[in-house]
Structure 1
Amino acid sequence: MILFPAIDLKDGKCVRLKLGDMDTATVYNEDPAAQAMAFEDQGFSWLHVVDLNGAFQGKSVNSAAVGAILKATKNPVQLGGGIRSLAQIEDWLDRGLSRVILGTVAVREPDLVRQACRAFPGKIAVGIDARGGKVAVEGWAEASSLGVIELAKKFEDAGVAAIIYTDIDRDGVLSGINWESTIALAEAVPIPVIASGGLASLADIRRMTLPDARKLEGAISGRALYDGRIDPAEALAILDEARAGLVQ
């Protein structure tokens, strides 16, 4: 059970959106590398990064900021947003990324995901972003006809390291994670699932530790950390205690 702090990048700055709308961006830190260092100092063990401009434009846009983050933190980093080719994947992994998240390309070119998993085992995650139960692409700007579980099942035997599942209707509005849909996805496929979108309070952290949620790899937190609704030390202590209980 990993709590992944999120750094969403827009125009080189650390921001948070509401419901995936770029016009609602709130800037929380103009120095993403400093934010990455702060998360490491707080005790987090992973970092989730999204190139928001890249997701909308279909190419990496905030490369300089991501590069600075990679230099600033020792924590493993996973990155999504605008990564659409094997060459881009290889370049990012060579630069120090621990995991590349493929979203739009997983819908448009599922064979590329399979190729990437073969070429870079353990390094490829699939990002499934959904609105109303249907997968959205191109930075959430376009809806598809695919259901969440339908898409996930396409990659059951591909070697995908994780699925990051985001409920767009909850993202950035602090309404709580969609546990029902997230756990249903985790039960439907053997791929580890990471919950994203809406994590709002320590109640969500405690919910992660309940038996039915323990099959998840973890959850991503953004706005609740930046707004101070979640105390990092308390959240990590809850997860540590739950892990210790499982070991015993």
Structure 2
Amino acid sequence: MIIYPTLEILDGKCVSLTRGRLDEPVLWHVDPVETARSFADAGAEWMHVTDINGLRGDGDNNELVEQIIRAARVPVQLGGGFRTEAQVAGWIDRGAGRIVVGTMAARNPDLLRELAKFHPDQIVLAVDIYEGAVVTDGWRERSSFAPDTFIAAFDTDPLAGIIVTDVDAHIDQRDASLSVITALAAATRHPVIAHGTVASLDDVARLKYVPNIAGTLIGRALLAHDVDLGEAIALASTPNEPIADFQ
């Protein structure tokens, strides 16, 4: 299982969101570029970066994100309000390892399929869930899509993976969130990356045993020093113990 240390960038600063509330960020007084370097030094194979301004549609952090990509020394998975082919292709040209799209998939699924075709294994589908439905536009708009049917619509496309976030259970209801993510992971052939389920090393240990969970994003818990990245990577990379087959 891959640990994706995560930076969420708003107005040039590292933040965390509570239950997807774009207007209530928690500010972290750390340098984003130096933090990215520290993730690589701790042994990260990948990083995840979200441009919150891009999600909100009120600007971007393009220059800073480019600095992070150059400083990280590991592939960066980038999200942040991508709506057009030019945006996606432009960031791949600028060095992003993967591009995360969500709203585009709901509004223009054919475009997502074309992007996956031309950039195989570089496009990640974001499935954000609130009260049982897929939400878009930075978690602000409720769609008519059920998560399972939404994911199934892209099952034959060459996606790099699917990030699943249960916004309704984000942070303080991790058991409920894990249940949602477990069910969706079992229903798709694509590798699933969990988001919003890790607040301790115990949570990493639990995720390892969920079938088809290929990774997890960890942001707030790292910045709050509740989880040590090196320990999380070591735990995630160790082979699972045998599980008894109960009849």
* Structures share fold, TM-score greater than 0.5: yes
Which portions of structure 1, spanning 4 or more consecutive aligned residues, are displaced by more than 4 angstroms?
Answer: none
CA distance in 2, matches of 1:5, 1:107: 27
CA distance in 2, matches of 1:202, 1:227: 13
- Match of residue 189 from structure 2: 190
* Identical-pair percentage: 37
- Match of residue 23 from structure 1: 23
Deviations 1:154-196 (A, max 9, x none): 101111110000111233x344262221121111111111000
- Match of residue 163 from structure 1: 162
CA distance in 2, matches of 1:23, 1:111: 31
Query: What pairs up with 1:133-212 in 2 under 5 angstroms?
Result: 133-171=132-170, 173-176=171-174, 178-210=177-209
CA distance in 2, matches of 1:42, 1:28: 19
Find the partner of 2:219 among 205, 222, 238.
Answer: 222
- Match of residue 8 from structure 1: 8
CA distance in 2, matches of 1:191, 1:76: 20
Name the count of aligned residue pairs.
241
Structure 2 counterpart SS, 1:155: coil
More displaced 10-residue stretch of structure 1: 117-126 or 18-27: 18-27
CA distance in 2, matches of 1:170, 1:94: 36
CA distance in 2, matches of 1:99, 1:163: 12
**Does the aligned pair in 1 maintain the 2:6–2:218 contact within 8 Å?**
yes
**Does the aligned pair in 2 maintain the 1:136–1:142 contact within 8 Å?**
yes
TM-score (norm 1): 0.92
Structure 2 counterpart SS, 1:139: coil
More displaced 10-residue stretch of structure 1: 63-72 or 29-38: 29-38
**Does the aligned pair in 2 maintain the 1:128–1:166 contact within 8 Å?**
yes
Alignment RMSD, CA only? 1.7
Shift of residue 242 of structure 1? Answer: 2.4
- Match of residue 109 from structure 2: 110
Structure 1 counterpart SS, 2:99: strand
- Match of residue 131 from structure 1: 130
Deviations 1:197-246 (A, max 9, x none): 13111111110222xx1421111111111111112222222122226x69
Shift of residue 88 of structure 1? Answer: 0.9
Distance 1:97 1:29, change over 3 A: farther
Alignment pair present for 1:231 and 2:224: no
Unaligned runs of 5+ in 1: none
**Does the aligned pair in 2 maintain the 1:209–1:242 contact within 8 Å?**
no
**Does the aligned pair in 2 maintain the 1:128–1:148 contact within 8 Å?**
yes
CA distance in 1, matches of 2:198, 2:169: 8
Paired AA for residue 226 in structure 2:
R
**Does the aligned pair in 2 maintain the 1:149–1:188 contact within 8 Å?**
yes
CA distance in 2, matches of 1:29, 1:154: 41
Unaligned runs of 5+ in 2: 243-247
TM-score (norm 2): 0.92
Shift of residue 30 of structure 1? Answer: 4.9
